[in-house]
Amino acid sequence: MRLLDTLAARSVTLPALRERPEDIRELLPALTPGRAPGSPPPTWTPDALRALERHPWPGNVTELAHLVRALAGRCRVFGPVRRGELPDPVRAGPAGRTLSPMERAERSAILEALRRHGGNKARAAAALGIGRATLYRKLREYQGRDAPGGPRP
């Protein structure tokens, strides 16, 4: 059997970018369009990288690729990309809105499962019927967003 046929019969499912923000730093150089010879690729300030990692990326990797191309297309001569140069939704981060009633209920269920399982995230995720990566993502999403009368995760 040819290798292509073998590979075509397989599928690989990757989690959404919002579930693997640690990949963003590795994706940035790969998504940067070709530069003129001798021209350095864009670099990113730590604050800009944190904003990129906190953004939920509803458009997944495609949205990140468009952002990188747009910033690289500004023909930066020198200096890193700063947080202030990022689009408003990315710069503002996910903490810019309050939790919906459904999110508050989900957050409460997660916090209760963590309490019941002594803070063990693997057991709490299993009890909730979600993956550990999903639990971590949910906790990151809810970080810094207070539900009225509720504690922070």
* 3 state SS of 107: helix
Residues 58, 61, 66, 68, Cα dihedral to 10°:
120
Q: Which CATH fold topology does 101-142 show? A: Arc Repressor Mutant, subunit A (1.10.10)
> 3-state DSSP: the chain helix, strand, coil percent, rounded to 5?
60, 0, 40
- Tell me the per-residue pLDDT of 64-99, one tens digit each, with 9 for 90 and over: 999 998 887 665 555 788 888 898 888 877 655 577
Which residue did the predictor score with more confidence, 94 or 113? 113
What pLDDT sits at residue 145?
A: 57
Determine the average pLDDT of the residues in 1-25.
Answer: 78
Report how far residue 125's alpha carbon sits from residue 115's, in angstroms, rounded to the nearest whole number: 12
CATH number of the structural domain 17-96: 1.10.8.60
pLDDT at 101 (0 to 100): 86
Question: 98 vs 110, which has greater pLDDT?
Answer: 110
For residue 92 the two structure tokens come to 């503002």
Average pLDDT over residues 36-57: 84
Question: CA–CA separation, 40 vs 51, rounded Å?
Answer: 22
Mean pLDDT, range 40-62, rounded to an integer:
87
Task: Delimit the domains of the chain by residue range.
Answer: 17-96, 101-142
Q: At what angle do helices 132-142 and 121-128 cross, to 10 degrees?
A: 100
Work out the mean pLDDT of the chain and round it to a whole number.
81
pLDDT score, position 125: 94
pTM of the model: 0.55
Residue linked to tokens 């809810």: 142
Mean pLDDT of 16-26: 89
